[in-house]
């Protein structure tokens, strides 16, 4: 089962990582100024991860595939790692769709 891990960045911002059952990070958030905003971001991932249209498949300047998960307003709520192939990226998207809805939250800032 997946989990969202909330941490604090060096600059004081909060962020979350969605980790798959094996502990691998499959989605990383932007920085949030408050923990409440970070928690809202997690809820947004849970909702938006079930809509294929919310996944924006991209390719980095060095040719590595990755994806962004966007909210209904078009704002990026999470980004993936860089993958070695488009099939690996698509597996990452499938993993987010599987893990996000029922993921627990591990707040490591408390």
110 residues of the chain, pLDDT tens digit each: 899 999 999 999 999 999 999 999 999 999 999 999 999 999 999 999 999 999 999 999 999 999 999 999 999 999 999 999 999 999 999 999 999 999 999 999 97
Residue 103 tokens read as 């993921």
DSSP assigned state of 84: S
Note whether 26 and 39 are within 8 A (CB).
Answer: no
Question: How high is the pLDDT of residue 1?
Answer: 86
pTM over cut 0.85: yes
Which residue carries 């958030």 as its tokens? Answer: 29
Question: How high is the pLDDT of residue 73?
Answer: 93
Question: How high is the pLDDT of residue 25?
Answer: 96
Residue 59 tokens read as 């390719």
Question: How high is the pLDDT of residue 110?
Answer: 77
């Amino acid at each position: 089962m997946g989990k969202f891990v909330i941490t604090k960045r060096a600059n004081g911002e909060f962020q979350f990582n969605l980790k798959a059952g094996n502990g691998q990070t499959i989605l990383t958030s932007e920085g949030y100024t408050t923990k409440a905003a970070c928690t809202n971001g997690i809820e947004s991932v849970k909702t938006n991860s079930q809509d294929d249209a919310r996944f924006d498949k991209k390719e980095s300047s060095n040719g590595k595939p990755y994806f962004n998960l966007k909210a209904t307003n078009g704002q990026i709520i999470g980004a993936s790692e860089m993958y070695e192939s488009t099939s690996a990226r698509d597996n990452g998207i499938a993993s987010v769709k599987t893990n996000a809805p029922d993921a627990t939250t591990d707040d490591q800032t408390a």
